[in-house]
A and B are shown apart, each in its own frame.
Chain A
Amino acid sequence: MATVSLRKLTKRYGNIGIVHGIDLDIADREFIALVGPSGCGKSTTLRMIAGLEEISAGSIEIGGRVVNDLPPRSRNISMVFQSYALYPHMTVRENLGFSLKIAGAAKEDMERRVAEASAILGLDTMLDRRPSQLSGGQRQRVAMGRAIVRDPDVFLFDEPLSNLDAKLRTQMRTEIKKLHAKVRSTVIYVTHDQVEAMTLADRIVIMRDGHIEQVGTPDEVFRRPATRFVAGFIGSPPMNLHEATIDDGQMVFASGDKLPLPGQFKANVATGHKVVFGLRPDDIYPTGHGISSGGAADVHQIELPITVTEPLGNETLVFVEFNGEDWVSRMLNPRPLRPGEQVAMSLDMSQAHLFATETGKTLRS
């Protein structure tokens, strides 16, 4: 087990920068998720840590040892690929034992470790099958087994669940979490799915265009997003984000609609400032149908017309029109609502976010 440190890690292809000097410290046994949209550099970062991609500048340390120029095999890591990358010409047993065979391990040792890994992952009954005879979920498990057998310092996962269907993905997510609890090793997990990142990781690294936007626990990145991008990326459905101008303690939106400036930001903005106002769907709800975490004084009441409703059973997503745009709200204990109906909405301003339009950074102090 080991710590991982990235120092000014940079990747360029010719003149095109992919990763722009990122710094990150990962603690021993920590589960870190790198998350971000396609092309944000998260997979490239992972591949650089694995040694599959040369680094253009900066350094990578694993367990305090600089590994910049070491080949993958000398880094004592293991990796689960998006495509699983199982060797099609080998049985499950051979796939699991391949790394040990290459390392020249004794036969008994090899058998013992393969048996251990297959027991952890429930692969015992399929050891003599070929990958082509396995289902997606089973292949995924073999890929993880192959990683476990190596007993590496660091596990790298490159979008391991994105080839599975929704149900299996949820199932495997739980298994990965259980697995981490069992083997307690350092994990770096790349995904574009923020739900995976939130549910699995100790800390989440949100990346965008080769930069790190924010590093924090799932709770931190959800409750205190550092930038407008993070606010919009984390959370489902995404946060309502709308531009406004500050005018005498009020936020004036493009259409002329106004909302009071949330109290927690009063000290940080002045009249004329251009801001982006953000409110999660959980913090805007038909009055009496939400969880209010702020006091009554923080909740702003307003009548808004409904455009669409999306019932989800225990809750309904209600889209209301404000400032000429749709705002999504979450209605608990739903009651039937019709589009066009005017509904009294509660906006919990104590949970609101404000970002500077120009920099996208939070205005929270």
Chain B
Amino acid sequence: MDENSSARLKRRLLGIVYRIGLFLAMLTICLPGLWIVLSSLRPTVEIMAKPPVWIPQEISFDAYVAMFSGIGKGGIPVIEYFRNSLIVSVTSTVIAVAIGMAGGYAFARYRFGGKSSVFLGLMLTRTVPGIALSLPLFFLYVRLGIIDTHFGLILAYVALNVPFTIWLIDGFFRQVPKDLAEAAQIDGCTRWQAFWQVEFPLAGPGIASAAIFAFLTCWNEFALASQLTRSVSAKTLPVGLLDYTAEFTIDWRGMCALAVVMIIPALTLTYIVQKHLVGGLTSGAVKG
């Protein structure tokens, strides 16, 4: 066999090995999600079976029907939870992105005293696990009378997301050459116009990815929300999952069904903006 054909064979074999490896990796990543969807569609007996039943014997949408059937008929206030989740996530994302844009722009463009210490301080807040703050936050909120309110949760989520959005958006603004805003000013723009006309559109993908990340963080957050909310009027979807736990039993099927309901909007949103997200992530990754 000559060198060329053996090199070709080697390349093909390697290609096959890569694909198998990739398949296994994807399987590992996707299996829990798939399992949740399957579990929401089959009876509890099958879910709890040992050894596990891989192929469902019967499929029913009972859990979904029950979920929306109202209190007392196995239902939970899913519409209210969904509404709470949406209000809290969207509002805190908008605020976090607005602050992130202002902060990120300032860090990217201006020199000021203590700049690096402030930046480091912001990043350090990311090292504190949110759950560690939940008890102090609980007492504080009780005293302030904002426990179990949208406002309280929004406040906590904004604080949680701002360092991250600042960091991400800072990276994107750094990539927009300073010359462009200057050229725009020479072309007749005010500082403000130069920002909105030139710098903002160019950093747009980055700002979109920051928004998605902030939104997903809020949408999926459980630890803080479970401490800071308790009534139907404030509980978010992740906290709502707990409604399926009773004193002695856990309705795994119902819980999985609610989890699916929760995942769908997040998945849809991510799918819609994934082009920006990937572009944004890779181009923002190399920060000067």
Residues of A within 8 A of B (CB): 50-52, 71-73, 77-79, 81-83, 85-89, 98-99, 102-103, 146, 150
| B177, CB-defined interface residue at 8 Å | yes
The reply to whether B185 and A146 contact each other, CB–CB distance below 8 Å, is no
| B98, CB-defined interface residue at 8 Å | no
Query: What is the minimal beta-carbon distance from B177 to any residue of chain A, in angstroms?
Result: 6
Which A residues lie within 8 Å of B193 (CB)? Answer: 102
Identity of the chain A residue whose Cβ is nearest the Cβ of B179 in the assembled complex: A85
Which A residues lie within 8 Å of B190 (CB)? Answer: 71, 73
Q: Can you list 16 A-B pairs, Cβ within 8 angstroms, ordered by A?
A: A50-B182, A52-B185, A52-B186, A71-B191, A72-B182, A73-B188, A73-B189, A78-B187, A79-B183, A81-B179, A83-B177, A85-B182, A87-B184, A102-B184, A102-B188, A150-B187
Query: What is the minimal beta-carbon distance from B33 to any residue of chain A, in angstroms?
Result: 37
| B197, CB-defined interface residue at 8 Å | yes
The reply to whether A98 and B186 contact each other, CB–CB distance below 8 Å, is no
The reply to whether B184 and A81 contact each other, CB–CB distance below 8 Å, is no
The reply to whether B197 and A73 contact each other, CB–CB distance below 8 Å, is no
| Most chain A beta-carbon neighbours within 10 Å: one of B189, B190, B193, B202 | B189
Which B residues lie within 8 Å of A73 (CB)? Answer: 185-190
The reply to whether B186 and A87 contact each other, CB–CB distance below 8 Å, is no
- CA–CA, A106 to B184, complex, Å? 19
| Most chain A beta-carbon neighbours within 10 Å: one of B177, B182, B188, B193 | B188
- CA–CA, A89 to B188, complex, Å? 18
| B137, CB-defined interface residue at 8 Å | no
Other 17 A-B pairs with CB < 8 A, given A83-B177, A146-B183: A52-B185, A71-B191, A72-B182, A73-B188, A81-B182, A82-B179, A83-B179, A85-B179, A87-B198, A88-B202, A89-B201, A98-B184, A98-B187, A102-B187, A102-B189, A102-B197, A146-B187
| B180, CB-defined interface residue at 8 Å | yes
- CA–CA, A83 to B182, complex, Å? 12
Query: What is the minimal beta-carbon distance from A153 to any residue of chain B, in angstroms?
Result: 12
A-B CB pair tally, cutoff 8 Å = 60
- CA–CA, A73 to B202, complex, Å? 22
The reply to whether A79 and B186 contact each other, CB–CB distance below 8 Å, is yes
Which B residues lie within 8 Å of A89 (CB)? Answer: 201-202
Report how many residues on chain B are interfacial, defined by Cβ distance under 8 Å: 18
Which A residues lie within 8 Å of B179 (CB)? Answer: 81-83, 85
Which A residues lie within 8 Å of B182 (CB)? Answer: 50, 52, 72, 79, 81, 85
Which B residues lie within 8 Å of A83 (CB)? Answer: 177, 179
Query: What is the minimal beta-carbon distance from A114 to any residue of chain B, in angstroms?
Result: 13
- CA–CA, A87 to B202, complex, Å? 9
The reply to whether A99 and B187 contact each other, CB–CB distance below 8 Å, is yes
Query: What is the minimal beta-carbon distance from B172 to any residue of chain A, in angstroms?
Result: 14
Which chain B residues (200-221) contact chain A, with CB distance < 8 Å? 201-202
Query: What is the minimal beta-carbon distance from B209 to any residue of chain A, in angstroms?
Result: 17
Query: What is the minimal beta-carbon distance from B283 to any residue of chain A, in angstroms?
Result: 12
Query: What is the minimal beta-carbon distance from B201 to any residue of chain A, in angstroms?
Result: 5
Which B residues lie within 8 Å of A78 (CB)? Answer: 186-187
Which A residues lie within 8 Å of B188 (CB)? Answer: 73, 99, 102-103, 150
Identity of the chain A residue whose Cβ is nearest the Cβ of B189 in the assembled complex: A102
Query: What is the minimal beta-carbon distance from B109 to any residue of chain A, in angstroms?
Result: 13
Among A79, A85, A150, contact of B177 (Cβ-Cβ < 8 Å): A85
Which A residues lie within 8 Å of B202 (CB)? Answer: 88-89
Query: What is the minimal beta-carbon distance from A350 to any residue of chain B, in angstroms?
Result: 48
Among B183, B185, B197, contact of A71 (Cβ-Cβ < 8 Å): B185
The reply to whether B180 and A85 contact each other, CB–CB distance below 8 Å, is yes
Which A residues lie within 8 Å of B197 (CB)? Answer: 98, 102
- CA–CA, A146 to B182, complex, Å? 14
Which B residues lie within 8 Å of A82 (CB)? Answer: 179
Among A51, A85, A103, contact of B183 (Cβ-Cβ < 8 Å): A85
- CA–CA, A78 to B183, complex, Å? 9
Which B residues lie within 8 Å of A102 (CB)? Answer: 184, 187-189, 193, 197
The reply to whether A81 and B189 contact each other, CB–CB distance below 8 Å, is no
Which B residues lie within 8 Å of A71 (CB)? Answer: 185, 190-191
| Most chain A beta-carbon neighbours within 10 Å: one of B182, B186, B197 | B186
- CA–CA, A146 to B188, complex, Å? 12
Contacts A87-B198, A88-B202, A102-B193 known; A77 to B184 CB distance under 8 Å? no
Query: What is the minimal beta-carbon distance from A85 to any residue of chain B, in angstroms?
Result: 4
Contacts A87-B198, A88-B202, A102-B193 known; A50 to B177 CB distance under 8 Å? no
The reply to whether A77 and B186 contact each other, CB–CB distance below 8 Å, is yes
- CA–CA, A336 to B197, complex, Å? 63
| Most chain B beta-carbon neighbours within 10 Å: one of A50, A73, A88 | A73
The reply to whether A81 and B183 contact each other, CB–CB distance below 8 Å, is yes
Among B177, B180, B185, B198, contact of A72 (Cβ-Cβ < 8 Å): B185
Query: What is the minimal beta-carbon distance from A187 to any residue of chain B, in angstroms?
Result: 15
Query: What is the minimal beta-carbon distance from B49 to any residue of chain A, in angstroms?
Result: 57
Which B residues lie within 8 Å of A81 (CB)? Answer: 179, 182-183
- CA–CA, A51 to B186, complex, Å? 8
